[in-house]
Amino acid sequence: MSQADQLIWGSVVLSLCAVIHVGLLASMIPILQGVGHLIRNRGRAIRTAIITGVSFALIVFSHTIQVWLWAYSLMHLDAIEYFYDALYFSLVTYTTVGYGDLVLPVDFRVFGAFGGVSGILCFGLSTAFLVSLVSRLLPRSFESKFDSFHSSGNKDA
């Protein structure tokens, strides 16, 4: 595969991963609102845990789809012959662990590097999403405890 082909196909798969990830994050908002509505009668701590857990599970699902997409792409382009090897390489590259025990042929190395770029970008988005979610949920989880503490007449707080 030429370097131009590697750049093109790497950009295509990276773009697909971005669409998948951003699309899933955007679709999570109404899902999380629905979950919040279903569990509105639970305690704040339980609601926070459930909403964060559902978010985490959906984000892991998104990353899993992307790793599988990279594995499929590597096999489809004949860079790696066996599915297990393609999946392993994709996961190690996407997470930027990069053990180096399985390497791509020279004609695919630039393409493979796009998998690491994809992982870095999508993990960054996931982290930002979770930080934003938790920063909105945690203060609300603590509100009732602090409000009831202050309203009990405790002046030392």
Give residue-wise pLDDT tens across range 64-121: 999 999 999 999 999 999 999 999 999 999 999 989 899 999 999 999 999 999 999 9
In three-state secondary structure terms, 82 is: coil
Predicted pLDDT at 106: 92
| Lookup result for tokens 């096999």 | 75
User: Does residue 145 lie in a domain region?
Assistant: yes
pLDDT of residue 74: 96
pLDDT at position 140 is: 65
CATH number of the domain residue 42 falls in: 1.10.287.70
Structural domain includes residue 36: yes
Residue 75 tokens, joined: 């096999």
Q: In whole angstroms, what is the distance from residue 75 CA to residue 86 CA? A: 7
Q: What is the pTM of this model?
A: 0.82
Which residue in 91, 92, 85 sits closest to 65, CA to CA?
A: 91
Mean pLDDT of all residues in 23-40: 90
- Both tokens assigned to 95: 């997470």
Q: What pLDDT is stored for residue 152 in this prediction?
A: 53
20 falls within a domain: yes
pLDDT at 16: 97
Instruction: Using alpha carbons, select from 156, 61, 70, 56 the residue that is nearest to residue 116.
Output: 70
Residue 50 pLDDT > 80, yes or no? yes
Q: Give the integer Cα–Cα distance in Å for 145 and 156.
A: 15
Task: Quote the domain boundaries for residue 69.
Answer: 3-151
The pLDDT score that the predictor gives to residue 144 is 58
CA distance 35 to 59: 16
SS3 (DSSP) at 83: helix
Higher pLDDT, 14 or 134: 14
Question: Is there a domain that residue 156 lies in?
Answer: no
Give the DSSP letter of residue 129: H
Asked whether 42 and 144 are in contact (CB, 8 A), the reply is no
Q: Please give the Cα distance from 18 to 64 (Å, whole number).
A: 13
Backbone phi and psi for residue 2, each to the nearest 5 degrees, phi listed first: -70, 165
- What's the number of domains the chain is made of? 1
